[in-house]
A and B are shown apart, each in its own frame.
Chain A
């Protein structure tokens, strides 16, 4: 036993790889499952980056799926396309490869996602290195086996695991106090996917205060080093496009504001309530006798044009959402300015992404991963965090369900969520039962009992610990989660059975509304934790 546990301490890598490979096996099995159009998007980017010169990357219009990620991601696709070309040249053929459906491309792209998850693994590994064994294992379960990531990356198809790997890496550097590296990695991440920029204010304030605010001379030199580093990263990314004079075009591609406030399926955020209020007001006012124009653009249709989709309430512009996000962020920024502690950074970043998700423009439901994954870092820290995380990650995973709408994937997503619940439940209970015992032990000031009585004393302590509260979800949480089940049963079974084809948008709308309640709760909870005096 002795040597075994020593092995578990000393040699982390095989263990974390064990978690990774278990997940990888399941992901491999999922290769033939449904994938969304994002699959073709990424295939086209492979072809585009392989067959066109850099100057044409952001100009190409061969496919409707134009390149709309920042340059580093395009470079990443260029790197992948080298291997794709070796495996099957057709994959990277810009004309003939369109909508290519052969096994080679499916295997190649799926396996590329599975392998790119190694970067996520690296991030998690760095974060968890210093933790005690059990919290570490728990964190691995929460992140490496995250059902949300499996749904979005390995079924729906995207590279979020890879991108979140950069984020976790950055957080791990910040937590260690290596601010320069943290900032650098975050800058790199921004050049991979600009949607992560929501946390940039937090980074800015934190780094300015924690890294640069060290007196006049030293502070200024640090500021210039950091600035130079960030500029260098951005230069490496955007340099070629500046050189070709295309920076406007690149930005236009990256920020398509024409897309409207909400995505096809409403991401469960604040705007759901706004839309709902608008509809209700319009309905009510019409009843009262006002002449309210029914907006031509429908929210359920997905594409929202330029005309105001709101009947009563004022139009929302990107600037409005931007200001709202900043407003929501401000408490966190003030806190970060006043007291920049590395221990809080994961929380702040997660909070920033929560704000971005709730109030942002054209938010995808997938973006909830941006805060659920970092929150796993804090979930293993305290009991309250664990309770909050339990509810939040279930809601977030559930809100991803509409991504997989085909019958074949139905059992997969349900089982993924159930397995995640079971693992969290068991893991948190185990962890916090022990913590409670440890706490009770610590508070017991009585001298050490005689050996014979130890066992009795131990069981007493345990009882005391369980009184103090292990991992339990309060009744509100229980009712809420039960409601989730009701919403799902209604949407999947009762609605089609009772109403048939009438009101086809209701199940999705219910899901959005119900999930956004959960996310709002999480936002308020996080906000409370942040403004709490430390």
Chain B
């Protein structure tokens, strides 16, 4: 505050909000204006990332996720609804068959219409396989961009508005900082706009649902979350948290049963609407359902930093057990690790506890469930970024390792440059001068811990360089991938443990004033 006093002595009213820091001018006009600024910047960054190659660019015959999405547009556009998930002469499911829930199919249909309007060739049946062109790429990129701007951004705005109506005391600089952390998450941007996926839709719907939960609109929340679930089955990572929190809340109402029924009706109703075309025959229904559970793809994919893949260095899970038993084991492990956070939320539902619960349940899915992909780290990262202001350091730590764990994937996609730029951008924004007051307050880690942290940062940067420059030995072609996985897994496990502990401590610390404090 010293500077202010010098500047104008009379103006000693200076509220806490109008603070110094590089973003002082951003906060003057209120949150709306700041949000618009950051959103424009975030969009610019997304467009810039989208200039780079997508997954499987120029790599026949299977290409990559880009081709998968384009192929879905082709299928949904040219075939009747019931044929979308069915193997036939016109729909070869072995070539990027649709394996996401119907909402993704509808979204593909809408985007397909958009593509057909400007570039009919890019979505024509059969002939468009492996279609790659300047215009085609551009249009596809714009579909992701518009989905992001129309779903994820408003959801974040909704969340921020809800989250900070309760935190009256927080500085505006903090809020602006938090918005930038949410909108400029390097992992999400690189996967959606670089690698090519539509995570922004399902994650956006989830953020919207979370915001609705925090603002006590439980019905809206369950509607939005059901939509998220119907866009990507991976959203089920969050289901235990939603379930437990909403159940916990219902149990505390006057008539728990009525509340539960209301929520159940909304969920079932939404499901029924989304699945309507497939509800006419059991065949169709189970056909779609079986497409959504890709058990044939194995316990894990590539070198994902989860429990199964990491321990497979010592225990060859895939060889020792049948798929059936592995399914059971992984399911049990997931449920067991979810359980503490679920129980906590059922017993003492609270806003903050809910956010931690989201992180915990998504972490237990990421670490222990069947068929996990590197990209699934986006799911635990989402609640972590929602909690960024509470837990800035773990958030940064997690983001660093989440990015790192996706490094081999992004390398394959030739996205090294955006990877570096996005990482640098994230670090710079995280360290915005005067952007956040909490850094100082939480800066009391012991010297041993900070040495340890610096050492790990050093290790990971060395590993980055090694991965890029040195060819692995013939005998172990995936040596470096395994090393990256070995570095990331303990950090993820640590984060999961930490947030579990935090969630439980939460109910211990504030059993009394929890209700009024946390929404």
A278 located at the interface, meaning its Cβ lies under 8 Å from any Cβ of chain B in the complex: no
Contact of B40 with A415 in the complex, beta carbons under 8 Å: yes
How far apart are A269's CB and chain B's nearest CB, in angstroms? 29
Contact of A29 with B41 in the complex, beta carbons under 8 Å: no
Number of interface residues of A (CB under 8 A): 54
Contact of A437 with B11 in the complex, beta carbons under 8 Å: yes
Chain A residue nearest in CB terms to B30: A426
Interface set, chain A 418-471, CB cutoff 8 A to B: 418-419, 422-423, 425-427, 429-431, 433-434, 437-438, 441, 448, 454-455, 458
Bound state CA distance, A433 and B8, in angstroms?
13
B456 located at the interface, meaning its Cβ lies under 8 Å from any Cβ of chain A in the complex: no
Instruction: Select which of A407, A418, A419, A438 is within 8 A of B135 by beta carbon.
Output: A407
B440 located at the interface, meaning its Cβ lies under 8 Å from any Cβ of chain A in the complex: yes
Contact of B45 with A28 in the complex, beta carbons under 8 Å: no
Contact of B2 with A6 in the complex, beta carbons under 8 Å: yes
B418 located at the interface, meaning its Cβ lies under 8 Å from any Cβ of chain A in the complex: yes
Q: Among A15-23, A158-166, A486-494, which stretch is in contact with chain B?
A: A15-23
B9-40 interface mask toward A, CB cutoff 8 Å, 1 = contact, 0 = none? Answer: 01111000001111011101100011011001
Q: Among B65-73, B85-93, B428-436, which stretch is in contact with chain A?
A: B428-436
B424 located at the interface, meaning its Cβ lies under 8 Å from any Cβ of chain A in the complex: yes
Contact of B421 with A9 in the complex, beta carbons under 8 Å: no
Contact of A29 with B11 in the complex, beta carbons under 8 Å: no
Contact of B428 with A21 in the complex, beta carbons under 8 Å: yes
Complex interface: chain B residues within 8 A of A21 (CB): 424, 428
Bound state CA distance, A204 and B398, in angstroms?
59
Complex interface: chain B residues within 8 A of A29 (CB): 45, 48-49, 51-52, 417-418, 421-422
Complex interface: chain B residues within 8 A of A423 (CB): 25, 37
Main secondary structure of the interface of A (DSSP, over half): helix
A115 located at the interface, meaning its Cβ lies under 8 Å from any Cβ of chain B in the complex: no
Contact of A26 with B22 in the complex, beta carbons under 8 Å: no
Contact of A412 with B433 in the complex, beta carbons under 8 Å: no
Contact of A426 with B13 in the complex, beta carbons under 8 Å: no
B145 located at the interface, meaning its Cβ lies under 8 Å from any Cβ of chain A in the complex: yes
Q: Among A121-129, A133-141, A171-179, A325-333, which stretch is in contact with chain B?
A: A133-141
A8 located at the interface, meaning its Cβ lies under 8 Å from any Cβ of chain B in the complex: yes
Interface set, chain A 102-158, CB cutoff 8 A to B: 107, 132-134, 137-138, 141
Instruction: Select which of A19, A418, A427, A433 is within 8 A of B40 by beta carbon.
Output: A418
Contact of A455 with B13 in the complex, beta carbons under 8 Å: yes
A381 located at the interface, meaning its Cβ lies under 8 Å from any Cβ of chain B in the complex: no
Chain B residue nearest in CB terms to A408: B138
Contact of A137 with B417 in the complex, beta carbons under 8 Å: no
Complex interface: chain A residues within 8 A of B34 (CB): 426
Interface set, chain B 54-77, CB cutoff 8 A to A: none
Given the known A-B contacts A28-B420, A29-B45, A133-B3, are A422 and B36 also in contact in the complex, defined by CB atoms under 8 Å? yes
Given the known A-B contacts A441-B8, A454-B13, are A412 and B424 also in contact in the complex, defined by CB atoms under 8 Å? no
Contact of B41 with A441 in the complex, beta carbons under 8 Å: no
Contact of A9 with B51 in the complex, beta carbons under 8 Å: no
Complex interface: chain B residues within 8 A of A1 (CB): 1-2, 19, 437
B117 located at the interface, meaning its Cβ lies under 8 Å from any Cβ of chain A in the complex: no
How far apart are A421's CB and chain B's nearest CB, in angstroms? 9
Contact of A411 with B45 in the complex, beta carbons under 8 Å: no
A227 located at the interface, meaning its Cβ lies under 8 Å from any Cβ of chain B in the complex: no
Contact of B48 with A26 in the complex, beta carbons under 8 Å: yes
Instruction: Select which of A408, A411, A427 is within 8 A of B25 by beta carbon.
Output: A427
Contact of B22 with A18 in the complex, beta carbons under 8 Å: yes
Given the known A-B contacts A26-B45, A28-B420, are A430 and B24 also in contact in the complex, defined by CB atoms under 8 Å? yes
A4 located at the interface, meaning its Cβ lies under 8 Å from any Cβ of chain B in the complex: yes
Contact of A133 with B51 in the complex, beta carbons under 8 Å: no
Chain B residue nearest in CB terms to A458: B13
Complex interface: chain B residues within 8 A of A415 (CB): 40, 43-44, 47
B421-451 interface mask toward A, CB cutoff 8 Å, 1 = contact, 0 = none? Answer: 1101100110111100100100000000000
B134 located at the interface, meaning its Cβ lies under 8 Å from any Cβ of chain A in the complex: yes
Given the known A-B contacts A25-B424, A441-B8, are A4 and B440 also in contact in the complex, defined by CB atoms under 8 Å? yes
Contact of A15 with B33 in the complex, beta carbons under 8 Å: no
Complex interface: chain A residues within 8 A of B26 (CB): 426
What number of residue pairs across chains A and B have CB atoms under 8 A from each other?
Answer: 142
Bound state CA distance, A146 and B422, in angstroms?
20
Given the known A-B contacts A15-B22, A29-B49, A411-B145, are A8 and B11 also in contact in the complex, defined by CB atoms under 8 Å? no
A402 located at the interface, meaning its Cβ lies under 8 Å from any Cβ of chain B in the complex: no
Contact of A22 with B3 in the complex, beta carbons under 8 Å: no
A31 located at the interface, meaning its Cβ lies under 8 Å from any Cβ of chain B in the complex: yes
Which of A6, A138, A411, A431 has its CB near the most chain B CB atoms (within 10 A)?
Answer: A411
Instruction: Select which of A133, A437, A454 is within 8 A of B20 by beta carbon.
Output: A133
Instruction: Select which of B4, B48, B49, B433 is within 8 A of A14 by beta carbon.
Output: B433
A32 located at the interface, meaning its Cβ lies under 8 Å from any Cβ of chain B in the complex: yes
Given the known A-B contacts A5-B1, A29-B418, are A411 and B47 also in contact in the complex, defined by CB atoms under 8 Å? yes
Contact of B37 with A419 in the complex, beta carbons under 8 Å: yes
Complex interface: chain A residues within 8 A of B296 (CB): none
How far apart are A132's CB and chain B's nearest CB, in angstroms? 6
B7 located at the interface, meaning its Cβ lies under 8 Å from any Cβ of chain A in the complex: yes
A416 located at the interface, meaning its Cβ lies under 8 Å from any Cβ of chain B in the complex: yes
Contact of B425 with A22 in the complex, beta carbons under 8 Å: yes
Bound state CA distance, A277 and B422, in angstroms?
51
A229 located at the interface, meaning its Cβ lies under 8 Å from any Cβ of chain B in the complex: no
Contact of B22 with A137 in the complex, beta carbons under 8 Å: yes
Chain A residue nearest in CB terms to B142: A411
A2 located at the interface, meaning its Cβ lies under 8 Å from any Cβ of chain B in the complex: yes
Contact of A30 with B48 in the complex, beta carbons under 8 Å: yes
How far apart are A188's CB and chain B's nearest CB, in angstroms? 32
A33 located at the interface, meaning its Cβ lies under 8 Å from any Cβ of chain B in the complex: yes
Chain A residue nearest in CB terms to B429: A22
Interface set, chain A 388-415, CB cutoff 8 A to B: 407-408, 411-412, 415
Instruction: Select which of A6, A33, A132, A427 is within 8 A of B51 by beta carbon.
Output: A33
Complex interface: chain A residues within 8 A of B417 (CB): 28-29, 31, 107
Contact of A429 with B29 in the complex, beta carbons under 8 Å: yes
Contact of A422 with B37 in the complex, beta carbons under 8 Å: yes
Contact of A18 with B433 in the complex, beta carbons under 8 Å: yes
Bound state CA distance, A260 and B363, in angstroms?
67
Complex interface: chain B residues within 8 A of A28 (CB): 417, 420-421, 424
Bound state CA distance, A18 and B41, in angstroms?
16
Complex interface: chain B residues within 8 A of A412 (CB): 44, 47-48
Instruction: Select which of A6, A26, A458 is within 8 A of B44 by beta carbon.
Output: A26
Contact of B44 with A9 in the complex, beta carbons under 8 Å: no
Contact of A426 with B28 in the complex, beta carbons under 8 Å: yes
Contact of B22 with A19 in the complex, beta carbons under 8 Å: yes
Contact of B40 with A8 in the complex, beta carbons under 8 Å: no
Bound state CA distance, A6 and B420, in angstroms?
32
Complex interface: chain B residues within 8 A of A33 (CB): 48, 51
Complex interface: chain B residues within 8 A of A134 (CB): 24-25
How far apart are A451's CB and chain B's nearest CB, in angstroms? 10
Interface set, chain A 1-57, CB cutoff 8 A to B: 1-2, 4-6, 8-9, 14-15, 18-19, 21-22, 24-26, 28-33
Bound state CA distance, A107 and B417, in angstroms?
10
Complex interface: chain B residues within 8 A of A132 (CB): 7
Chain B residue nearest in CB terms to A25: B425
Contact of A438 with B22 in the complex, beta carbons under 8 Å: no
Given the known A-B contacts A8-B3, A25-B425, A137-B24, are A15 and B48 also in contact in the complex, defined by CB atoms under 8 Å? no
Complex interface: chain B residues within 8 A of A411 (CB): 43, 47, 142, 145
Complex interface: chain A residues within 8 A of B142 (CB): 411
Q: What 3 pairs across the A-B complex have the smallest Cβ distances?
A: A430-B28, A29-B48, A25-B425
- Complex A-B: 28 CB contacts under 8 Å: A6-B3, A8-B20, A9-B3, A22-B428, A28-B420, A28-B421, A30-B51, A31-B417, A33-B51, A107-B417, A133-B7, A133-B20, A141-B25, A407-B138, A412-B47, A412-B48, A415-B40, A415-B47, A419-B44, A422-B37, A423-B25, A426-B34, A426-B37, A429-B29, A430-B28, A454-B13, A455-B13, A458-B11
Q: Which residues of A contact B (CB under 8 A)?
A: 1-2, 4-6, 8-9, 14-15, 18-19, 21-22, 24-26, 28-33, 107, 132-134, 137-138, 141, 407-408, 411-412, 415-416, 418-419, 422-423, 425-427, 429-431, 433-434, 437-438, 441, 448, 454-455, 458
